[in-house]
Amino acid sequence: MTKKKIALISLVCLITVIFTGCGAGGDGMKNNGKIELEKLEGMPEDFITGADVSSYISIIESGAKYYDEEGNELDDAGFFKLLYDGGMNYCRIRVWNDPKDENGHTYGGGNCDINNAVRLGKLATDAGMKVLIDFHYSDFWADPGKQTEPKAWKGMTTEERADALYEFTRDSLNTLLDEGVDVCMVQVGNETTNGICGAKDSYKNMTDLMSAGSRAVREISSERDKEILVALHYTDPQHNEYAKYADYLDRYGVDYDVFASSYYPYWHGTLSNLTRQLKDIAEKYDKKVMVAETSYIYTLKDHDGTGNTENPDKTGDVFDYDISPQGQADLIRAVAKAVLDTGENGIGMFWWEPAWIPVNYYDEASSDAAAVYEKNARIWEEKGSGWATKYAIGYDKDADAYGGSAVDNEAWFDGHGHALPSVNAYRYLRTGASLGKGIERYASEEKPSSPEVKLSLPDGVENLLLNPGFETDDGWVIINIRGNACEIKADKDNVRTDKKCLKFWDDNDFEFTAEQHVKINGGSHFTFGGFFEGGDCGDTAEIKIGISADGGETFTEATTKDAGWKQWQNPEIADFLADNNADGEREIIVKITVKAKAGGWGAWDDMYLYESEGK
């Protein structure tokens, strides 16, 4: 998980909070709201329903408090018992090598060194949970955007770094196990899609480091006579590249048990696509698969004054579930089902940081808002309970955005630390939960609806395209020729109709095509068109559609331009002549092509192809 930066355009969403007797988003009142959840049939008893609570120790040390659903204050044991009783059976804990500067000032983000992991691991173990240790092999956040080696390993060769990684893994595991922590799984790296521990340009170097970590885990497992699974962690499943990663892991002989993925519904495409990719890996390589990180918002409010990753000004992200604890529960069930649908090798899921709440509740409308913020800011710096401290700036390129929690609106606790109904969602997966007569669902925040614009074709004609509105992953083949700009994505701010569109943006020059092959019996004239909006593509941009027939390499084309946000253009090729023979099967090929400069953005939606009468 990384703190996403707002890109493209800024649109202020008007959010209406619907109040019921349980309060709006659980902000400050005892939470009497209820959630309902259908039991997930076929879920094994040992299916992992876990969470990452790595920031908990620093938040408690900062003075924050947690409460159960009845408003009772919780001590450490009570907090973990609440999670365990709610169905959480596994605790994920991140470990950084040395998260402090040369003067001993901590970098923040929970101060997640091995000592923090021991304290958390013992609490989780005592509560009856198993533990997953998530080694970042960095002194601070490791994610797809950065994989910075620890300060002490800088300048080492890959071979030297692999030796250091091996020793660090062995020493850390021995420390944890000696303290009685029930470590049952180890992540060798965190979100290693684009690298690990400073290695990013060579699969050989990356896999050498992964193998060193795996070897350390295998040795400790053998020496302790204890089963400890080795997991590797990737993200961005929407790019459909997991098969590539699994292939190079196999080619370079990396020894591991679990292929894990992050899945955040705002960014990572459909769950059906995630299931397909993980299932392919499970079946081809006989690996266990799971979701190592997921989460969802229960409110769009900010509780600490520093803003959140998902906020009212954010554009382009997807909110397919209620913005409420019910929405959180619905996502949990959907993700768990997606993992189960991969087959018997689908082993579970983890929620990311459900306990990362503000230290002191901040209300921008309150007369003491400035004083509360200043107090929080001092504590974040002293205790490391915010995203980053100023001391991390020299190590982490994103630490200039330091402050409080960026995900307090994705927690299972409200801004005052009171448990939300979503804290029980894992238990309800196993038992089911229905609302009694007269009990209302938990309050949700209303989402803006899609534009009421419909596609109108001539009377009596059939749209011959599969998935013309990009609502699924079917039909279209997307080829990113230069850059990685284009994907089918749910995007409420850039669709023309329904929920999804063919969205593109890149911070480098880019070029892509999306095409579909359509088998047709009969017909000689066809009309192809669709709708486009976009901007900043440059004076030399090429934005066009094309059509050809029966294997012809020459496309009849129509061009369009970027006229701005929601300014839908309608390029169309009317009455394209396929041939003069109306009998027999033929193949029509349609395509979308975009070539644009860095920063160009846009979306295609509501494409159509139909047989026309001809001129």
- H or E segment and range at residue 515: strand 510-521
Q: Do the beta carbons of residue 151 and residue 98 sit within 8 Å?
A: yes
Q: Do the beta carbons of residue 141 and residue 392 sit within 8 Å?
A: no
The one-letter amino acid at 175: T
Catalytic, 61? Answer no
Question: Which residues partner with 73 through β-bridges?
Answer: 67
- H or E segment and range at residue 604: strand 601-611
How many other CB atoms are there within 10 angstroms of residue 220's CB atom? Answer: 21
Average pLDDT on 139-165 reads 97
Q: Do the beta carbons of residue 369 and residue 305 sit within 8 Å?
A: yes
- Rounded distance between C-alpha atoms, residue 257 and residue 348, angstroms: 13
What are the tens digits of pLDDT across the range 578-593? 875 556 677 899 999 9
Q: Which tokens is 369 given?
A: 């808002």
* SS3 track for 382-451: HHCCCCECHHHCCCCCCHHHCECCCCHHHCCECCCCEECHHHHHHHHHHHCECCCCCCCCCCCEECCCCC
Q: Which residue has the higher pLDDT, 490 or 351?
A: 351
| Candidate list 191, 310, 381, 533, residue with the active-site label | 191
What are the tens digits of pLDDT across the range 491-501? 777 889 888 99
pLDDT score, position 397: 81
State the pLDDT confidence band at 142, using cuts at 50, 70 and 90. Answer: very high
- Rounded distance between C-alpha atoms, residue 380 and residue 457, angstroms: 58
Give 492's DSSP letter.
T
pLDDT score, position 4: 38
State the pLDDT confidence band at 613, using cuts at 50, 70 and 90. Answer: confident
- Rounded distance between C-alpha atoms, residue 287 and residue 216, angstroms: 19
For residue 437, pLDDT beyond 60: no
Mapped onto helix, strand or coil, the DSSP state of residue 53 is coil
User: What is the set of domains in the chain, with CATH numbers?
Assistant: 21-431 (3.20.20.80), 477-611 (2.60.120.260)
Indicate the burial class of 431 (C-beta count within 10 angstroms; 0-12, 13-18, 19 or more).
exposed
pLDDT score, position 348: 98
What are the tens digits of pLDDT across the range 163-184? 999 999 999 999 999 999 999 9
Catalytic, 611? Answer no
State the pLDDT confidence band at 84, using cuts at 50, 70 and 90. Answer: very high
- Supply the mean pLDDT for the chain: 88
> Which residues are CB-contacts of 98 (< 8 A; sequence separation ≥ 6)?
113, 139, 150, 151, 152
Q: Which residue has the tokens 């020793």?
A: 167
pLDDT score, position 550: 79
> Radius of gyration of the chain from Cα atoms?
26
Q: Which residue has the tokens 């993200």?
A: 235
Which range, of 159-173, 319-333, 461-475, 484-498, averages the lowest pLDDT?
484-498
For residue 14, pLDDT beyond 70: no
State the pLDDT confidence band at 28, using cuts at 50, 70 and 90. Answer: very low
Q: Which tokens is 383 given?
A: 């205790």
pLDDT score, position 19: 31
Mapped onto helix, strand or coil, the DSSP state of residue 601 is strand
Query: Is the whole-model pTM more than 0.85?
Result: no
Q: Which residue has the higher pLDDT, 337 or 438?
A: 337
What are the tens digits of pLDDT across the range 259-285? 999 999 999 999 999 999 999 999 999
Q: Which residue has the higher pLDDT, 337 or 506?
A: 337
- Rounded distance between C-alpha atoms, residue 248 and residue 196, angstroms: 14
- Rounded distance between C-alpha atoms, residue 320 and residue 311, angstroms: 15
Which range, of 222-226, 252-256, 365-369, averages the lowest pLDDT?
365-369
What are the tens digits of pLDDT across the range 289-328? 999 999 999 999 999 999 899 988 887 888 889 999 999 9
State the pLDDT confidence band at 1, using cuts at 50, 70 and 90. Answer: low
- Rounded distance between C-alpha atoms, residue 557 and residue 538, angstroms: 20
- Rounded distance between C-alpha atoms, residue 501 and residue 375, angstroms: 44
Question: Which residues partner with 608 through β-bridges?
Answer: 529
Percent of the chain with pLDDT over 70: 89
Which range, of 267-276, 382-391, 504-513, averages the lowest pLDDT?
504-513
pLDDT score, position 256: 98
- Rounded distance between C-alpha atoms, residue 390 and residue 100, angstroms: 11
For residue 20, pLDDT beyond 50: no
Our CA dihedral for 411, 416, 419, 425, rounded to 10 degrees, sits at -20
| Candidate list 61, 69, 227, 293, residue with the active-site label | 293
Give 609's DSSP letter.
E
- Rounded distance between C-alpha atoms, residue 448 and residue 418, angstroms: 28
How many other CB atoms are there within 10 angstroms of residue 244's CB atom? Answer: 11
Q: Which residue has the tokens 């908990």?
A: 56
What are the tens digits of pLDDT across the range 392-423? 999 998 887 678 999 999 999 999 999 999 99
